[in-house]
A and B are shown apart, each in its own frame.
Chain A
Amino acid sequence: MTKSDPVSFLPLPQAQFHVLVALTDGEMHGYAIMQAVEDSSDGVVRMGPATLYGTLKRLVDSGLAEELDGSPSPQDDQRRRYYRLTGLGEKVCTAESTRLSRLVQRSRSNLRPRLA
């Protein structure tokens, strides 16, 4: 059973959010997602293969991502499975980004006196 209200998915587990953010760049196969996550986190988040595919399974099961029937173009590796965001996945990613940005704003405003 999949939920349809984006807010009901929040807060997203860190690994799921990283993968969703990676997929906002377009369709990707597993290893490309792994690299994108590492790049976007400046090397802080390093997923292992099973963590990555476990996360992808959860995202697909909950309707936030979907597997493509084939590769996006003939030049791409035909042996690999490609994934992309669904409409719901985009909404959830946006909602989580908004939630986190509010949290960061609040944190900055609370910490400003100490940082000054």
Chain B
Amino acid sequence: MSTHRRIYESMLWLYPRDFRRNYGDDLVQNFADLLGDRGIRSTWARTSVDLIVTVPRYRLESIMSEEKSAATINLTLAVLSVGGMLALTTGIYPITVVFWIAAIALAFVQRGALARAIRTPSTNRRRKRIRIAAVLSLVCAAALFSYFVDLNDEKISTASLLIHNAIGNTAMIGAIVYLIAGLLTPRSSATSRTA
């Protein structure tokens, strides 16, 4: 029993520090109570699901908490976008992909109007976001087309390539974020009933 308790206790390090500090002892006590009442298999079945669901959730909430300023998140977002752009320019494509995914994920966990808005039903906003995504996709396509055309031009400067890249990357991240936000925005009930 104490081995299982120790294993669970060590897994609590996966949680944000504040949550662990405030509730660590209670969680272990609760786990021990479950072990005593329900047995090892049932306790681990319940606790494993709990860990899988709550660890990423509480981690994200910790990032979104008031303590982390919006400025820090925006700065990280900018660094990831520029990092992705530079990695693309230098041909390190896997790092570009990782940076873009991180930037998109961060944009979503940011406590911003967009993140909150996707929980508010609105058919008009849904359409508007999908339209913005379409426009940004066109901008991205144009920037990328121009970038690849420029690649064949021997006189093109690195600065010009970087500008194309910056526009293309920003538009692409924006397009993905707006498209997902648009698709996640629930339709308002009046419209969905008539549809």
Contacts and interface: CB of A to CB of B under 8 A. Distances in A.
Bind each other: yes
B51 A50 contact: yes
Interface string B146-157: 000000000000
A54 B22 CA distance: 10
Given A48-B47, A49-B50, A50-B58, A57 B30 contact: no
Interface residues of B, number: 21
B12 to A, nearest CB: 9
A46 B47 CA distance: 10
Interface string A26-55: 000011001000000000001111111110
Contacts of B145: none
A79 interface: yes
B38 to A, nearest CB: 10
Contacts of A48: 46-47, 49-51, 53-54
Interface of B: 15, 19, 22-23, 26-27, 29-31, 33-34, 46-47, 49-51, 53-55, 57-58
Contacts of B29: 30-31, 79-80
Contact of B33 (A31, A53, A54): A31
24 contacts: A30-B26, A30-B29, A31-B29, A31-B33, A34-B30, A46-B46, A48-B47, A48-B50, A49-B27, A49-B34, A49-B47, A49-B50, A50-B51, A50-B54, A50-B58, A51-B53, A52-B30, A53-B19, A53-B23, A53-B30, A54-B19, A54-B57, A57-B23, A81-B26
Given A50-B27, A53-B23, A57-B22, 4 more contacts: A47-B50, A48-B54, A50-B23, A53-B19
Contacts of A80: 26, 29
B9 to A, nearest CB: 11
Contacts of A53: 19, 23, 26-27, 30
Q: Label chain A's interface by main secondary structure.
A: helix
A51 B30 contact: no
Closest A-B pairs by Cβ, 7 of them: A48-B50, A50-B54, A49-B30, A53-B23, A31-B33, A49-B27, A50-B50
Q: How large is the interface on A (under 10, 10 to 19, 20 to 34, 35 or more residues)?
A: 10 to 19
Contacts, number: 53
Contacts of B30: 30-31, 34, 49, 52-53
Interface string A42-83: 000011111111100100000000000000000000011100
A106 B76 CA distance: 48
Interface of A: 30-31, 34, 46-54, 57, 79-81
B26 A51 contact: no
A81 B24 CA distance: 12
A30 B23 CA distance: 10
* Most central of A30, A31, A49, A54 by chain B CB within 10 Å: A49
